[in-house]
Amino acid sequence: MIKNIFLKIQQLDFNYNLVEPDDNFPVKDISLIHYAREYDICYLDKNLPHLVKDKKNITLICPYDFDDTNENIRYIKTDFPKLVFYYISHLFGDNKEFNIDEELSSKYPGAFIGEGCIIGENTEIHPGAIIRENTKIGNNTTIESGCVIGSTGLLWTLDHRTNKKVMLTLTGNTEIGNDCYICSNVSVVRGSCNETTKIKDGVMIAPGSAIGHGGFIGKNTHIANNVTLGGGVKIEQSAFLGSGCTVQPALIVGERAVLGSGTILTTNAKPNGVYLGIPGKYIKERTKNLKGIPCE
């Protein structure tokens, strides 16, 4: 694989600084830097050596000014680290591929289940649902028609030389826990690179909502209809998100926090806080028997 990667970089015709390929220092997978394991290939766009100080035996695509004093890292320096990484991701998979597990799909008539999926006991997957590769679903969970679980997200960057949008191949996973109910036409994007989108036990998601890559939804959270969560959003347990909410990428919604209908959250929401408006602002502390919230 490492020779294929070096060949791909050379074909891109960028300015770069390559060390010689070394079969004794392999590349086994692609990863975001926060999830990097030994022998993964990752990238950083800026000189942030503290993010890799504890990493060992990784290959890092980085800018020319990156501090390269960590002897446990093989550095590939270029003017366009992110763009090179996105091109290289195509060597590890293809967003357009969907290999169906015919035997597993036959247990759920009308549904399409990808290879590498694990479905728990007493789980219902309705006709017209699509479960993409490497998805794990727990016990007693329902996935209604029109859902796409483990879908491909639109992560891309622009190659200014060709004015071409270059997609990142998403190689991550999706996990849905026990006793969840996912209503119709919900989209859950899988993790990007060595990343998992996780929905924990007892989560309820109403029709039309969209969960971004690498998201985390804590136990017993209720997500109303047409809610949009950006990539990397973390929702802690027992939160309530009203209809039409939007949470911007990488934000945290604290335990038992409430977002009122139509709220656009642009900052973290603290635990037990009630937030309303555009942008969402803290209104008051959550209390029991709050109107419109079930099972208080």
Residues 6 and 73 in one domain: yes
Is the pLDDT reported for residue 66 higher than 80?
yes
CA distance 216 to 198: 5
CA distance 278 to 192: 29
Is the pLDDT reported for residue 139 higher than 80?
yes
**Residue 234: predicted pLDDT:** 98
Does some domain include residue 111?
yes
Is the pLDDT reported for residue 235 higher than 90?
yes
Put simply, whether the predicted model's pTM sits higher than 0.85 gets the answer yes
Model confidence at 7, pLDDT cuts 50, 70, 90, reads confident
Structure tokens at 4: 């294929």
**Residue 21: predicted pLDDT:** 65
Q: Amino acid identity of 130?
A: I
Q: Which domain, by its residues, includes 129?
A: 102-279
**Average pLDDT of the chain to the nearest whole number:** 93
Burial class, 224, CB count within 10 angstroms (exposed 0-12 / middle 13-18 / buried 19+): buried
Q: pLDDT tens across 93-102, in order? A: 888 889 999 9
Last residue of a domain, one of 40, 59, 89: 89
Active site residues: 213
Q: pLDDT tens across 271-282, in order? A: 999 999 999 999
Structure tokens at 74: 């093989």
Model confidence at 201, pLDDT cuts 50, 70, 90, reads very high
Does some domain include residue 59?
yes
Residues 185 and 261 in one domain: yes
Is the pLDDT reported for residue 125 higher than 90?
yes
**Residue 295: predicted pLDDT:** 57
Is the pLDDT reported for residue 223 higher than 80?
yes
Total domain count for the chain?
Answer: 2
Residues 139 and 235 in one domain: yes
Mean pLDDT of 33-42: 93
Contact by Cβ (8 Å): 140, 119: no
Residues 65 and 137 in one domain: no
Is the pLDDT reported for residue 296 higher than 60?
no
